[in-house]
Amino acid sequence: MPKSASDSPTLAPGRKTDRDTPTQAETQIVVAFDDNRAASAVVGPYGQHLALIERRLGVVADSRGNHINIAGNRDSCDAAQRVLETLYQQAVGKHEIAQGDVEGAIRAILAQGSLFDFDPRAAKPAFEEINLRKRPVRARTAAQDSYIRALKRNELVFGVGPAGTGKTWLAVARACQLFERKEVDRIILTRPAVEAGERLGFLPGDMREKVDPYLRPIYDALYDLMDARIVERALQSGEIEIAPLAFMRGRTLTNAAIILDEAQNTTSMQMKMFLTRLGENSRMIVTGDPSQVDLPNGQPSGLAEASRLLENVEGIAQVRFAAEDVIRHELVARIVAAYEGTPQRSTQARP
């Protein structure tokens, strides 16, 4: 159980920075944790998690055993304390703390605003999650939260946005959840086999060996979200099917969770063909990044057309992600924003 105390504005001896000269607006909070192992997980290897909290919230944080000293303005310190307590509850629950979990906790706390008497054990999570046998998958941004809610409520969902926003990851997680709960009999994962601006030439091997390089990101998500033995068995039995988009023609896909990844590389005819494969008791998820179209020049993207035509169709949800929703490395969001020409907004807590 974390314990905290607010001290005087004078900072205790610790890390030497230009913040060591306190101002009247600065304060200090000491957060203490009972479980040393969980506290170490919160701090992260070589203090990486604390460093991220410092950068994002504009505070100075020092770890001394199971005590963490936080210095900064009152609002920022309160936000940092709530982030640490949220991460501690995850660590006590035997969940590993990754860099993305820290980023997600920061965004969730900032989205909640200022809350008094915050209790991370009793508070309802700000963002939705997908519960799997292996581990829960939590939304880390408001857009991901909307995406998960849409996946749970609609039979056809479009997830559109830049790389690194978790579109495919969450789509595979939702498909795995439906499969584990036996709400569907199988998972069908597909994407167009279009080379990303390259010409790979002849690929040796059988059909699966030829298309596997195009579908590797989907394999990676499957093995990370489900037990490897279950994935292998399901692939052998056909309960999980991974195939290029061309193999979908003429089929009616019933009792299945169907994902079309990299949909920006579909033609209009391919997209129409895919969408009309939807059968009874099936869920369909379409993901893509309109800024990474690898079709020949002059060939319109089927994803852009479908998004426009199906904008207001009942039963179909569309969730759009932006550069600020990127949850890979911090630099990825800046790179995406630079290419899009959008200025970066400060995400620090403001007094």
Q: CA–CA distance from 24 to each of 29, 56, 201, 217, 284 (Å)?
A: 15, 22, 67, 51, 56
What 37-40 contacts at long range (C-beta under 8 Å, 24+ apart), as own/partner pairs, is 37/91, 38/88, 38/91, 38/92, 39/65, 39/66, 39/68, 39/88, 39/91
pLDDT at position 25: 61
> 77 with 59: CB under 8 angstroms?
yes
**pLDDT tens digits, one per residue of 215-224:** 777 888 899 8
pLDDT at position 328: 66
Using DSSP, state whether 69 is helix, strand or coil: strand
Domains of the chain: 3-126 (3.30.1370.10), 130-340 (3.40.50.300)
330 vs 34, which has greater pLDDT?
34
**Do the bridges between strand 67-73 and strand 60-64 make them parallel or antiparallel, or are there none, so unpaired?**
antiparallel
**pLDDT tens digits, one per residue of 228-269:** 999 999 999 999 998 888 888 888 899 999 999 989 989 899
Mean pLDDT of the residues in the chain: 80
Give residue 19's identity as a one-letter amino acid code: R
pLDDT at position 244: 82
**pLDDT tens digits, one per residue of 2-35:** 655 554 443 333 444 444 444 446 888 888 888 8
Mean pLDDT over 176-200 rounds to 79
pLDDT at position 9: 41
Nearest to 191 by CA among 228, 236, 246: 246
**pLDDT tens digits, one per residue of 73-132:** 888 888 889 989 888 888 887 667 887 788 878 877 877 765 444 444 444 445 788 989
> 56 with 36: CB under 8 angstroms?
no
Angle at 191 between CA 186 and CA 192, to 5 degrees: 145
pLDDT at position 204: 59
197 vs 175, which has greater pLDDT?
175
pLDDT at position 75: 87
pLDDT at position 199: 45
Specify the DSSP element, H or E, that contains 30: strand 26-32
Q: Is the pLDDT of residue 195 over 60?
A: no
The token pair at 76 is 């920022």
pLDDT at position 15: 41
Mean pLDDT over 337-350 rounds to 55
pLDDT at position 3: 57
pTM value is: 0.70
pLDDT at position 151: 95
CA dihedral sign of residues 283, 234, 240, 95: positive
